[in-house]
């Protein structure tokens, strides 16, 4: 793995901040949460990632106390939380819609929670100032929400949410209303803010890139269940299911049957020929689906230097130019493979045209077996 390690393993303590057990919730006939078991650690940034309707907001709302489950347990800091009303829970929520008080100034919005908690005025002002500086809104504390841009409003909402020092901050697609450039900037700022304040963040998003950029761990959800939970590197590099392999980034999927598994290397018979994989574990003679990320594939005119890898022959069918990379669609027998090649200087890679014969080189450690 080449990416920097983040995640709970790199955190000093692994105390559980939020424990969720056997959580179920049905609305009318609709099973929003079928069965959720999840531990979220103190100081971690965990994203609930999944498509619209998979139940992520319902899970967040149950943690916040806006919704009661039909069954199950939620504890925060070791305390059974379900009997506690939302405003008394050690959590705060940031919504996509900001939910600021329109008639109050920025400063009064930020001070509001502290006033409710009866924090003395001088101390409250000090805390508000510190937090407003952190999210860089100190220069417009006297403005009202209608005098702010979307990004500025969301910074105020964040300041208001963290000034009370909740144990857990719940964020429901907070960047969803912002344009792409601002969203990308705030993703990085939010991640840095979370590290500075050390509060546990639970972040709902349907945007896989957002989840990858910011999170320590991601829970990939599908129809009321968590399909896979792991560090960003685990879920991206070692997806366990077809769903995760294709929802989180894209993957080429190849069905086959394991012929041999010896010394950590599997030989798999596929319609494209024999493929070798050196990660995961295999059972000889059993069917398996393999996933290969498009950016792990090398596209070359000559494969002679790659004799230890899997080599397939194909013809370039189409090329999608994204600026950052060339996405080649390459016909191999009756299949089309996606292979992404970084758009480096032409001296560093070969460029191909539609119709060119090419070799696809797939390292054995990039051939990932899926469970289903
Ligand atoms: P989105 O990204 O679109 O917000 P989500 O993953 O957050 O989706 P939820 O809002 O948790 O999904 O909804 C899960 C399922 O429960 C959906 O099928 C939704 O229609 C249903 N649902 C949610 N809230 C209610 C409600 N109050 N009454 C009836 N059905 C609901």
Say whether both 148 and 205 belong to one domain.
yes
E-strand spans in the chain?
A: 16-27, 30-41, 45-49, 71-76, 79-80, 91-95, 168-172, 200-205, 217-222, 225-231, 252-262, 265-270, 273-277, 287-292, 298-300, 310-321, 325-332, 335-342, 357-362, 368-370
What's the domain range around 49?
Answer: 8-246
Which of 246, 269, 288 is a domain's end point?
246
Say whether both 236 and 254 belong to one domain.
no
Inter-CA distances, 203 with 41, 49, 95, Å: 13, 8, 10
pLDDT of residue 150: 87
Domains held by the chain: number: 2
Query: How many angstroms separate the alpha carbon of residue 104 from the centre of ligand 1?
Result: 32
For the segment 295-322, the average pLDDT, to the nearest whole number, is 90
Say whether both 316 and 184 belong to one domain.
no
pLDDT of residue 2: 42
Query: How many angstroms separate the alpha carbon of residue 172 from the centre of ligand 1?
Result: 13
Whether 3 maps to a domain, the answer reads no
For the segment 142-168, the average pLDDT, to the nearest whole number, is 90
Flag whether pLDDT at 49 surpasses 60. yes
Residue nearest to atom 9 of ligand 1 (CA): 55
Say whether both 75 and 217 belong to one domain.
yes
Flag whether pLDDT at 8 surpasses 90. no
What are the pocket residues of ligand 1 if the criterion is a CB atom closer than 6 Å to any ligand atom? Answer: 27-28, 30, 32, 50, 52-58, 206
Residues in the chain: 372
Flag whether pLDDT at 158 surpasses 60. yes
* pTM of this prediction exceeds 0.85: yes
Residue nearest to atom 20 of ligand 1 (CA): 53
For the segment 219-236, the average pLDDT, to the nearest whole number, is 96
Whether 313 maps to a domain, the answer reads yes
Say whether both 158 and 54 belong to one domain.
yes
- List residues bridging with 92 in a β-sheet: 169
Say whether both 35 and 181 belong to one domain.
yes
Whether 271 maps to a domain, the answer reads yes
Ranges 1-15, 39-53, 85-99, most confident:
39-53
Query: How many angstroms separate the alpha carbon of residue 91 from the centre of ligand 1?
Result: 21
Which of 192, 212, 246 is a domain's end point?
246
Say whether both 16 and 122 belong to one domain.
yes
Mutate to test the pocket of ligand 1, among 32, 36, 177, 247 (most ligand atoms within 8 A of CB): 32
Query: In this predicted model, what pLDDT tens digit does every residue of 10-48 receive, in sequence order?
Result: 545 589 999 999 999 999 989 999 999 999 999 999 999
Whether 2 maps to a domain, the answer reads no
Whether 280 maps to a domain, the answer reads yes
Residue nearest to atom 21 of ligand 1 (CA): 32
Say whether both 226 and 278 belong to one domain.
no
Say whether both 145 and 277 belong to one domain.
no
Whether 48 maps to a domain, the answer reads yes
* Candidate from 94-98, 148-152, 268-272 with smallest mean pLDDT: 94-98
């Amino acid at each position: 793995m080449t990416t920097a390690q983040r995640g709970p393993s790199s955190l000093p303590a692994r105390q559980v901040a939020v424990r969720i057990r056997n959580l179920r919730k049905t609305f009318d006939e609709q099973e929003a949460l079928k069965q959720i078991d999840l531990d979220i650690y103190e100081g971690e940034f965990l994203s609930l990632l999944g498509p619209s309707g998979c139940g992520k907001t319902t899970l967040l709302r149950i943690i916040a106390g806006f919704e009661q489950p039909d069954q199950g347990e939620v504890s925060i800091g070791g305390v059974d939380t379900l009997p506690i009303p939302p405003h008394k829970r050690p959590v705060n929520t940031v919504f996509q819609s900001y939910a600021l008080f329109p008639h109050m100034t920025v400063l009064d919005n930020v001070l509001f929670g502290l006033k409710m908690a009866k924090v003395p005025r001088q101390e409250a002002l000090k805390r508000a100032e510190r937090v407003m500086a952190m999210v860089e809104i100190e220069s417009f504390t006297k403005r009202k929400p209608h005098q702010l841009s979307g990004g500025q409003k969301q910074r105020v909402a964040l300041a208001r949410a963290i000034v009370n020092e909740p144990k857990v901050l719940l964020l429901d697609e907070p960047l969803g209303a912002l344009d792409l450039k601002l969203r990308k900037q705030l993703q990085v700022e939010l991640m840095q803010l979370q590290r500075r304040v050390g509060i546990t963040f639970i972040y709902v998003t349907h945007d896989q890139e957002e989840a990858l950029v910011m999170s320590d761990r991601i829970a990939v959800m599908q129809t009321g269940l968590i399909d896979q939970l792991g560090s960003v590197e685990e879920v991206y590099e070692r997806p366990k299911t077809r769903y995760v392999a294709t929802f989180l980034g894209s993957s080429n999927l190849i069905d086959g049957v394991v012929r041999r598994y010896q010394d950590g290397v599997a030989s798999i018979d596929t319609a494209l020929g024999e493929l070798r994989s050196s990660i995961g574990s295999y059972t000889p003679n059993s069917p398996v689906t393999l996933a290969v990320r498009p950016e792990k594939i090398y596209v070359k005119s000559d494969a002679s230097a790659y004799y230890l890898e899997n080599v397939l022959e194909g013809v370039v069918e189409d090329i999608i130019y994204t600026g950052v990379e060339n996405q080649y669609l390459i016909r191999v027998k009756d299949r089309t493979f996606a292979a992404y090649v970084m758009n480096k200087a032409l001296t560093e890679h070969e460029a191909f045209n539609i119709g060119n014969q090419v070799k696809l080189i797939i390292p054995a450690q990039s051939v990932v077996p899926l469970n289903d």
